[in-house]
Amino acid sequence: MNKRIIMYSTKTCGFCKAAKAYFSANNISYTEIDVGEDREKAREMIEKSGQMGVPVIVVGEGSDAEVIVGFDQERIAEAIK
């Protein structure tokens, strides 16, 4: 079963670029939301994570969703299993 993955990011974030490279190298599909361009999505990200920093990666949906702040390869790999 493929879990939905959303990554909140900005264009200049080095850890966001690392996360994108990880997803690409592992053939993992995700939806990217640029919170530098979309204030409403930035508020949504803060509500979900309690953080203003990026990346915020959400794996899954609803109450089962796992919110990962920062680029944590091990947590991402575990969450998408």
Which CATH number belongs to the domain containing residue 37 in this structure? 3.40.30.10
Look over the chain and give the mean of its residue pLDDT values, rounded to a whole number: 95
Domain that holds residue 36: 5-80
- pLDDT confidence band for 69 (50 / 70 / 90): very high
Say what the pLDDT of residue 2 is: 77
What is the phi-psi region of residue 27: left when phi exceeds 0, alpha when psi lies from -120 to 50, beta otherwise? left
- Tally of structural domains, the chain: 1
Nearest to 64 by CA among 78, 50, 49, 79: 79
pTM for the whole structure: 0.93
pLDDT in tens, 20-46: 999 999 999 999 999 999 999 999 999
